[in-house]
Amino acid sequence: MKNRVPDILLIYTGGTIGMVKDYKTNALKAFNFDQIKSKIPELKLLDCNIETVSFPCPIDSSDMSPKYWVEIAEIIENRYDDIDGFVVLTGTDTMSYTASAMSFMLENLNKPVIFTGSQLPIGDLRTDAKENLITAIQVAATQENGKGKIREVGLYFEYKLYRANRTTKVSSEQFEAFESPNYPHLGESGVHLNFNTRWIKDEDQTAGLVVRKNFDSNVVVLKLFPGITEKVVEHMLSFSELEGVVMETYGAGNAPTASWFIDIVKRTIDRKIPVINVTQCTGGSVLMGLYDSSIRLKEIGVINGKDITTESAIAKLKYLLGLQTSHKDFKTKFERSLRGEMS
Query: What is the rounded distance in angstroms from the CA atom of residue 49 to the CA atom of residue 35?
Result: 14
Helix/strand/coil for 147:
strand
What is the enclosing helix (H) or strand (E) of 222?
strand 219-223
Please give the span between the terminal C-alpha atoms of the chain, in angstroms, as a whole number: 41
Task: For residue 16, indicate whether it is catalytic.
Answer: yes
What is the enclosing helix (H) or strand (E) of 267?
helix 259-270
Query: What is the rounded distance in angstroms from the CA atom of residue 53 to the CA atom of residue 7?
Result: 13
Query: What is the rounded distance in angstroms from the CA atom of residue 30 to the CA atom of residue 122?
Result: 10
Starting from the edge strand earliest in sequence, which strands make up the sheet with 303-304, in order?
Answer: 219-223, 244-249, 275-279, 303-304
Query: What is the rounded distance in angstroms from the CA atom of residue 52 to the CA atom of residue 68?
Result: 17
Q: Residue 92: phi, psi to the nearest 5?
A: -75, -25
- Annotated catalytic residue, options 16, 92, 279, 309: 16
Non-local (6+) Cβ contacts of 182 within 8 A are 166, 283, 284, 285, 307, 309, 343
Q: Are 45 and 87 in contact (CB under 8 A)?
A: no
Query: What is the rounded distance in angstroms from the CA atom of residue 171 to the CA atom of residue 154?
Result: 19
Query: What is the rounded distance in angstroms from the CA atom of residue 310 to the CA atom of residue 288?
Result: 17
Q: Residue 15: phi, psi to the nearest 5?
A: 105, 170
Starting from the edge strand earliest in sequence, which strands make up the sheet with 49-54, in order?
Answer: 49-54, 7-12, 85-89, 113-116, 153-157, 160-163, 187-189, 193-195
Catalytic residues: 16
